[in-house]
Amino acid sequence: MAIYETEVLIIGGGIAGAAIARGLSKYKADVTLVEKGMDFGQGITKSSSTIVNQGSNVIKFRPEYHNSRLVWAGRPLMEPLCRELQVPYQKIGSLTLFKNQAGMRHPKKMLQKFEEWSGKYMPQAEPLQLIDRETLHSWEPNINKEFIGAVYDPNIAVIDPVRLTIALAENARQNGILTMLETEVLDIWHQADRFAVETNKGTINCRYIINAAGEYVVKIAQKVNADDFALYPVKSYMAVLDQKVGNLVNHMVTMEEHGTINPTVYGNLFFGTSPGSQRLGKIHDHATDKKIADAAFEHARQLVPAISERDIINSWVGFIMYRNFEVGWHECSVGVSRWLPRFINASIGFPGICAAPAAAREMIGLLAREGLKLEQNPDFQPFRKAPPVFNELSDDEKRELMAKDQRYGHIVCRCETVTEGEIVAAIKNGARSLDGVKFRCRPGMGRCHGGFCGPKIIKILARELGISEEEVTKKGGQSRYLLHKSKELLEVE
Ligand SMILES: Cc1cc2nc3c(=O)[nH]c(=O)nc-3n(C[C@H](O)[C@H](O)[C@H](O)COP(=O)(O)OP(=O)(O)OC[C@H]3O[C@@H](n4cnc5c(N)ncnc54)[C@H](O)[C@@H]3O)c2cc1C
């Protein structure tokens, strides 16, 4: 087995690990990022409802929570980051709804908290507004007519967390960080001032470990007795609706006990579990169940009665890592283990997508305090050129692209209008599986979910990677689509 040497090892290529890797690439540091999956962002990050929160909205924030402070610090960093990496960022605003004076309790608290916190903790936050019934229903004609007003929060935005994670990892690599996919950490030993990390690809010797393993963060910390914290995985359900009903709401709409419906950057709507119906789960058990799905759907219908089950095109569960399930607060565990120097846990909590950029910044300080010498990288290049998205181009730009490369004139995914040119570009940029292609340029994200375009993408992947069609997988490992050639099993040897 191979032996690798690195100064800093980051375990986990979700948004936390990728943001930290990119943050460290601003310095002359010897850093390796390992991810057990075939691609980046396929853990909790993939499950997220994609919202960049502001703080005094749906979630119970408190200045004493580390996660709240990271989210406050992270939100203003998100838009510039998305611009540098050429990934979508869209301000949608949110509406926290109420039906009567009694239902005003939560919105009133929100306004109060905003007043109290905006100057102190929320840089560049635009003020919230109380809006009346007429304004509300003119902005959102499809919401339940029983709502008589809302708190409008103009700060709320949506992003594509997986595309951002892939872009962060790509940019980190471009700036000198070594990234290793399909590399699973199996065990860790601590010897004097070094760690020896056993992976399926060999042993990695390092001085610092950043444990950003998402739902497995406690398991990784336990391997070397650095688990000075406990986390409770709370199962949360999400569903996505067909683009054809994408105009049912224009803002993120929410009511304290009725979950959330939000537009995505691609014109679909997401809805998800209300806080009241979340349940403690077992990590690794990603099965959706009818009870949690029904509760989420009923709650979504309370907000927008026209939502129909027929418009759900996919659903999934993900884990929100709570620090204390009993009292319902979500916190994070970002910091050096109190039990083991140079071992830093980076579980960013909920909401974690918006906490990630600030957690990455904080990591620099933590590593420096633990003795890592960090000199600025004079060659750091913050910008990443994203491949073209055919559907978002003007007619002239489309014509120009097709003239340069005919494959941009061949539509492979009709639901999302994705061309062969984009799929080939995704593979050139690192996609190795159907999911790798899907999360980079969206074929298979539409109504048919790859039923029509899947076989064509398998052929393109096989051709571009120089492998057989049977070797193409959904997401690595044994997730093969084609087990045998037609009638192959009948052939006599
Ligand atoms: C349903 C749902 C909705 C959410 N909505 C929002 C939202 O709207 N806004 C928001 O800000 N946050 C939201 N969150 C929270 C947010 O998604 C998470 O905080 C964030 O994605 C966590 O990222 P991570 O990098 O810590 O974990 P992950 O994305 O899970 O990354 C960890 C990575 O570590 C890898 N790994 C694990 N074990 C090993 C090993 N042994 N060796 C190598 N690699 C390993 C995994 O494969 C994984 O890719 C939501 C969460 C859920 C579940």
310-323 residue pLDDT tens: 999 999 999 888 88
| Atom 48 of ligand 1, nearest CA residue | 43
Query: 382, 274, 403, 262: which is closest to 328 by C-alpha?
Result: 274
The domain over range 88-158+232-322 is classified in CATH as 3.30.9.10: yes
* Residues 234, 219 contacting (CB under 8 angstroms): no
Is the confidence at residue 59, as pLDDT, over 60? no
The whole-model pTM stands at 0.96
Of 72, 164, 353, 439, best ligand 1 pocket probe by most atoms within 8 Å of the beta carbon: 353
What pLDDT score does 156 carry?
Answer: 94
pLDDT of residue 56: 59
d(CA 345, CA 332): 10
Instruction: State the closest ligand 1 atom to the C-alpha of 220, by its place in the atom list counted from 1.
Output: 41
CATH 3.50.50.60 maps onto the chain at 1-87+159-230+324-386
Among left, alpha and beta (phi > 0; psi -120 to 50; other), residue 221 is alpha
How far apart are alpha carbons 478 and 485 in whole angstroms?
17
Q: What was the pLDDT predicted at 493?
A: 56
For residues 484 and 479, what is the distance between their CA atoms, to the nearest angstrom?
14
Q: Are 334 and 347 in contact (CB under 8 A)?
A: yes
Name the residue at shortest CA distance from atom 51 of ligand 1.
Answer: 48
pLDDT beyond 90 at 280? no
Confidence at 411, pLDDT banded by 50, 70, 90? very high
What's residue 486's pLDDT? Answer: 76
pLDDT surpasses 70 at 47:
yes
Nearest atom in ligand 1 to the alpha carbon of residue 51 is 8
The dotted CATH code for 390-481 is 1.10.10
Say how many residues make up the chain: 493
Residue range 412-436: mean pLDDT, rounded: 96
- Whether pLDDT at 449 is above 80: yes
Between the CA of 16 and the centroid of ligand 1 the distance, in Å, is 8
pLDDT digits (tens, 9 = 90+) for 169-220: 999 999 999 999 999 999 999 988 999 999 999 999 999 999 999 999 999 9
Ligand 1 site-directed mutation target among 9, 22, 44, most atoms within 8 Å of CB: 44
Q: Model confidence at 57, in pLDDT bands (50, 70, 90)?
A: low
Q: What span, in angstroms and rounded, lies between the C-alpha atoms of 479 and 39?
A: 14
pLDDT of the residue at 482: 87
Partnered with residue 3 across adjacent β-strands are 203
Distance in Å from the first CA to the final CA of the chain: 36
Is pLDDT of 66 > 90? Answer: yes
* Domain boundaries for CATH 1.10.10 within the chain: 390-481
CA of 335 to the centre of ligand 1 (A): 17
Instruction: Locate the ligand 1 atom nearest the alpha carbon of residue 349 and give its number.
Output: 19
Residues 471-478 have a mean pLDDT of: 93
483: pLDDT strictly greater than 90: no
Pocket residue to mutate for ligand 1, from 53, 350, 354, 435, most atoms within 8 A of Cβ = 350
Up-side HSE of residue 182: CA atoms within 13 Å toward CB?
Answer: 11
Q: How far is the CA of 161 from the centre of ligand 1 (A)?
A: 10
pLDDT reading at 111 higher than 60 = yes
- For residue 270, pLDDT over 90 is answered with yes
Q: 185-191 and 178-180 as β-strands: parallel, antiparallel, unpaired?
A: unpaired
| Contact by Cβ (8 Å): 292, 273 | yes
Binned at pLDDT 50, 70 and 90, residue 275 comes out as low
208 CA to middle of ligand 1, Å? 21
Q: Which residues contact 83 (CB under 8 A, 6 or more apart)?
A: 89
Where do the CATH 3.30.9.10 domains begin and end in the chain? 88-158+232-322
For 229-249, write each residue's pLDDT tens digit: 989 888 889 999 999 999 999
Dihedral over Cα of 387, 38, 267, 123: its sign: negative
Each residue of 376-404: pLDDT tens digit? 999 999 999 999 999 999 999 999 999 99
Q: Which amino acid is at 251?
A: H
Residue 17 CA, closest ligand 1 atom number: 25
Q: Which residues line ligand 1 (CB under 6 A)?
A: 11-17, 34-37, 42-45, 47-51, 53, 184-185, 212-216, 220, 236, 238, 272, 318-320, 348-354
Residue 422 has pLDDT above 80, yes or no: yes
Check pLDDT > 80 for residue 273. no
Q: What is the pLDDT of residues 337-352, one digit of tens each?
A: 999 999 999 999 888 9
Q: What own/partner pairs with CB < 8 Å and gap ≥ 24 does 193-202 have?
A: 193/342, 195/9, 195/224, 195/342, 195/343, 197/9, 197/11, 199/34, 201/1, 201/2, 202/1, 202/2, 202/3, 202/4
Q: Which CATH number applies to 1-87+159-230+324-386?
A: 3.50.50.60
What does pLDDT average to over the chain? Answer: 92
Give the whole-angstrom CA distance, residue 388 versus residue 491: 45
pLDDT at 492: 60
User: How sure is the predictor about 154, in pLDDT bands with cuts at 50, 70 and 90?
Assistant: very high
Question: Band of the pLDDT at 60, cuts 50, 70, 90?
Answer: confident
Ligand 1 centroid to residue 315 C-alpha, Å: 17
